[in-house]
Amino acid sequence: MKKLIVANWKLNPLTLAEAKELAGKIDQAPLHTAVLCPPTIFLGEISYPILGAQDVFWKAKGPYTGQTSVAALKSLGVKYCIVGHSERRVLGETDEEIQGKIEILLENGIVPVLCIGYGTTVAEDDMEVIDVLHGQLEAALSGGINRKKVVVAYEPVWALSAGPGQPKKTPTDEHIEKVALFIKTKYGIDKVLYGGSATSVNAQEILAQHHIDGLLVGGASLLPDDFNKIINTKI
Ligand code: PGA
């Protein structure tokens, strides 16, 4: 079965030339569905079959200096948009903003990739994890949002890598599977991705999980050889 692999380039690369070079090295017709999310400013210049954004503003237009509208993303052919990433939550993004972003993306036919996650250290207590995820999901999906159209990425904060070639530990397969099943059965979500130190080494094992529909890849998405292996992983 085809999985969805989303590349979150974060604040990399630093120049347009490097971004174009990186995109040019990524397999254009991989086994799985691959989405590249470069920094917003490069979106119009990157040519890849499916593009995603790393963020969007929740208001359609107006006096909001520095923000990026959903219409602008749409006009650049963007099909997916990450929201609620832990690296944005820590900068002050609120549940209310996340909910507004999901709403405006759905209204404009862009698939939101809602990131949820817990903890800065390896969590021992699955019940505690479930409690935090429950709160994040309740808040983000309130107000009549069509949940079938939202992709959820489960990213334990402690598992996020420090950058390309610097993966951390990943949760056990049982933990990932349990959380994915919880998200699907409790919230009516169809697609759950896993994110946090996914690499070409662990991709096969994670993607083989029954309830995991793909990966959100940070560090390894900046390494073309690694990322090409991930998007062509045989399961
Ligand atoms: P990582 O990042 O793959 O570098 O851990 C994933 C993410 O933050 O989306």
pLDDT per position as a tens digit, 66-116: 999 999 999 999 999 999 999 999 999 999 999 999 999 999 999 999 999
Identify whether the C-beta of residue 4 lies closer than 8 Å to the C-beta of residue 213: yes
pLDDT of residue 7: 99
Q: Is 53 helix (H, G, I), strand (E, B) or coil?
A: strand
Higher pLDDT, 144 or 97: 97
What pLDDT score was predicted for residue 121?
A: 59
Mean pLDDT of the chain: 95
Q: Which of 18, 87, 96, 155 is catalytic?
A: 155
Whether residue 129 is predicted with pLDDT greater than 90 in this model: the reply is no
User: 161-191: per-residue pLDDT in tens?
Assistant: 999 999 998 999 999 999 999 999 999 999 9
Q: What is the pLDDT of residue 123?
A: 53
Please tell me the pTM assigned to this model: 0.96
Please list, in sequence order, all residues whose beta carbon lies within 8 angstroms of the beta carbon of residue 84, skipping any fewer than 6 positions away: 93, 98, 101, 114, 115, 116, 136, 140
**Closest Cα to atom 1, ligand 1: which residue?**
218
Please report, for residues 46, 55, 186, 208, 214, the alpha-carbon distance to residue 40 in angstroms, rounded to integers and kept in the order given. Answer: 10, 8, 33, 32, 23
**Average pLDDT for residues 49-65, to the nearest whole number?**
98
Query: Measured in angstroms, how far is the CA atom of residue 168 from the centroid of ligand 1?
Result: 10
34 forms beta bridges with 5
- Selected catalytic residue, list 32, 85, 103, 177: 85
What b/e sequence results for 187-224 when a residue is b if at least 16 CB atoms lie within 10 Å of its CB, and e otherwise?
bebebbbbbbbbbbebbeebbebebbbbbbbbbbbbbb
Determine the average pLDDT of the residues in 13-31: 98
CB atoms within 10 A of CB 116: 26
pLDDT score at 130: 84
Residue 18 annotated among the catalytic residues of the structure: no
85 noted as active-site residue: yes
CA of residue 93 relative to chain centroid, distance = 16
Do 153 and 118 touch, CB atoms closer than 8 A? no
Residues whose beta carbon lies within 6 Å of some atom of ligand 1: 8, 155, 160-161, 195-198, 216-220
Question: Average pLDDT in the 208-217 region?
Answer: 97
Q: What percent of the chain has pLDDT over 90?
A: 91
Ligand 1 centre and the CA of 54: distance in Å? 12
